Amino acid sequence: MRTCNVTNSVKCWALGNRTPSEREVLGCGRCFLPRELDACRPEIVVLLGGSACRLIDRTEAQGRVRIDYAHGRPMQGSLLDGSWSGWIWPSYHPALGMHDTTKMTPLLEDFRRLGEWMRGEWEPPQPEVQEKDYQLIALPESVDKYVCGSICCGDSDEIAIDTESHGTKEFSLQISTEPHTGRMI
């Protein structure tokens, strides 16, 4: 049997029911959460809302975790600069679903998937690893080889072209014939 412990990342009511500042979230979190996490030793920490997601160690997450992209997917990580490490499940705050009904379906889906994941019935999709082929080229023959190699072989019949300039001077030209490839002149 699993137990569940519910707490808040910020213990004090923010005047006017405003969203707590990052300073308030981290200050309160550092004061109370390490003891709570140590006492209940959770296997998974479910973070509800963007404020709670500010507790995720940013160096591991490579910056701030955006709830609209991260919700409903488990991630390995740590909270509060490493005071706790393990599985983290970010999701929308339940109050958001009441204020913005378009978020209610994703919120309910997140909780359904959380249960399935905990029972071993669902695995989150893994991002495809794409080989990338970007190169800087200087010779016109290299452009011909790249473009003709894709178009003549039937791999692609479209070319994306972009130019950059610096003031009134042309700076570079970029060409791509297929996703994850490109050449810059």
Half-sphere exposure of 145 (CA within 13 A, CB side): 8
Q: What is the structure's pLDDT at 1?
A: 61
The C-alpha atoms of residue 70 and residue 66 are separated, in whole angstroms, by 6
Predicted TM-score (pTM) of this structure: 0.68
Instruction: Quick: pLDDT tens for 13-49.
Output: 888 888 899 899 999 999 999 999 999 999 999 999 9
Query: What rounded mean pLDDT belongs to the chain?
Result: 86
Q: What percent of the chain has pLDDT over 70?
A: 93
**Tokens 């393990």 -> residue:** 86
CATH class of residue range 15-118: alpha beta
**CATH code 3.40.470.10 region(s) in the chain:** 15-118
Instruction: Quick: pLDDT tens for 117-141.
Output: 999 999 988 877 788 999 998 887 8
